Chain A
Amino acid sequence: MTLTFTVSPDFNTKYLPGWFVVNTLLQRQLGEGIHLETFDDFDALHAAMRADQIDLIYANPFDAARLVRDHGFIAVARPHQRPDEAIIAARADGAIHAVEDLRPGARIASTDNPDVHMMSMIMIEPADLDATNVAIQLRPNYVLVAKSVLTGEADVGFFLAETFDELSATVRNQLRVLVRSQIYVISHAFLIHPRIGDRFEALQRVLLGMVNDPKGRAALDDVGIQAWDPMDQEEVEFMIDLMVALTA
């Protein structure tokens, strides 16, 4: 049986070849066929989740929550010191200096990344803003979020902090960071379907061992991860409780 592995579609596209390298390494070390299936957007991924087509996934926190709570997925590992954080930014030469400068009707450029959207929506609450009194403009990626802010189509943009930091210096210098989340405990997670639960130990051993092997380290570099930390079920449950609390 060939297993299906996928990666949350919010990864930086420069890491795509790296995920194929990781997949090859997993196949070799686990001794079984694994097909890497990538999805262009969250809608496509969620359709595959509903159709029960995924065996292994490097999931973003929102999908991890759904897969663990609703489908019984098992947490295996999380990336070392790589939490998901969000940034809200405005034009550097504009009148918006703080979140509290935003007013009802504010135009916000965002992506379909549910974690960044959730964290950013929390950070606009101090301005008495919520989904009912802002205008969200969905953009396919963070470069286009930045463009919307710079051209004045949007007052602010919601960014994944890691991706914001990788924007060109020219673009970043034209943007003003209003707030950067420092939540630390919300991160992506490597999960497996309960039907392959018997592979948990072998997979965790392979993932955690990658950092000790030159080929493994190179593969980690290629996907922007320093190392894998073990993640037990209670850790993922804690992260989910936290996200449930935030969506209250």
Chain B
Amino acid sequence: MRDMTLDDLHGDVGVEHTLTYADGFRRRIYAVEREVPFPEGRLIVSRTDPAGIITHANESFVAMSGFSLDELIGEQHYILRHPAMPAVAFKGLWDTINQGQKWHGYVKNLRKDGAYYWVHASVVPNIRNGRIVGFTSVRRKPSRSKVAECTELYKTLM
């Protein structure tokens, strides 16, 4: 996964951050203060292997992320991590799904062009023959009141 460059922003002004992910990988990103609305009636769907590597992404996932399908398959799902999201939220997600449980929450995602989109995300483990073989994540349009609530909450968790 490469660092973002100013060329990715297509002329928008971005704030530079260096993100360190749970596996220690570091990446430079630029966050742009522009929200892309969630498409009406759609679901964003992706699947990963047990290590969080993307194995499937639907059309809405590709469109909203700004990446091509080829750029997404084989990458870590954390390619979408926005700097305004606290690491503790993702720790809670992974702890829950690795125990074979469903997780759901509100997530601010980073696009390839530095803009963002909010989702109401649900993640379920794919259990086959008693074994977790991957995870399915489904994102839907969130309510604005939940987004406002989480925006404030996440600031306190950084």
B142 to chain A, nearest CB (A): 7
Inter-subunit contact B102/A126 (CB<8 Å): no
Inter-subunit contact B141/A125 (CB<8 Å): yes
B10 near A: Cβ within 8 Å?
no
Inter-subunit contact A245/B41 (CB<8 Å): no
Chain B interface mostly:
strand
A178, closest chain B residue (CB) = B40
A39 to chain B, nearest CB (A): 30
| A238 interface neighbour in B41, B42, B103, B136, Cβ under 8 Å | B136
Q: How many residues of B contact A (CB 8 A)?
A: 27
Chain A residues with Cβ under 8 A from B141's Cβ?
A: 123, 125-126
Chain B residues with Cβ under 8 A from A123's Cβ?
A: 41, 141
A124, closest chain B residue (CB) = B143
Inter-subunit contact B58/A237 (CB<8 Å): no
Interchain Cβ contacts within 8 Å, total number: 61
A181 near B: Cβ within 8 Å?
yes
B150 to chain A, nearest CB (A): 14
Inter-subunit contact A180/B41 (CB<8 Å): yes
Inter-subunit contact B124/A241 (CB<8 Å): yes
A182 near B: Cβ within 8 Å?
yes
Inter-subunit contact A126/B138 (CB<8 Å): no
B104 near A: Cβ within 8 Å?
yes
- Starting from the known contacts A238-B126, A242-B43, A246-B138, 17 additional A-B residue pairs (CB-CB under 8 Å) come to A100-B144, A122-B140, A123-B141, A125-B140, A128-B143, A179-B40, A181-B42, A182-B42, A241-B124, A241-B136, A244-B102, A244-B124, A245-B102, A245-B136, A245-B137, A248-B103, A248-B104
B120, closest chain A residue (CB) = A125
Determine which residue in B41, B104, B122, B136 has the highest number of CB atoms from chain A within 10 A of its CB, and name it: B41
* 13 residue pairs bridging A and B, Cβ less than 8 Å apart: A123-B141, A125-B141, A126-B143, A126-B144, A179-B41, A181-B42, A182-B42, A237-B126, A237-B128, A238-B136, A244-B102, A244-B124, A245-B136
Q: How many residues of A contact B (CB 8 A)?
A: 22
A44 near B: Cβ within 8 Å?
no
Chain B residues with Cβ under 8 A from A182's Cβ?
A: 41-42, 60
A233, closest chain B residue (CB) = B128
Chain B residues with Cβ under 8 A from A246's Cβ?
A: 43, 122, 138, 140
Within 8 A of A (CB), among B86-132: 102-104, 120, 122-124, 126, 128
Inter-subunit contact B45/A242 (CB<8 Å): yes
Within 8 A of B (CB), among A103-137: 122-123, 125-128
Within 8 A of B (CB), among A226-248: 237-238, 241-242, 244-246, 248
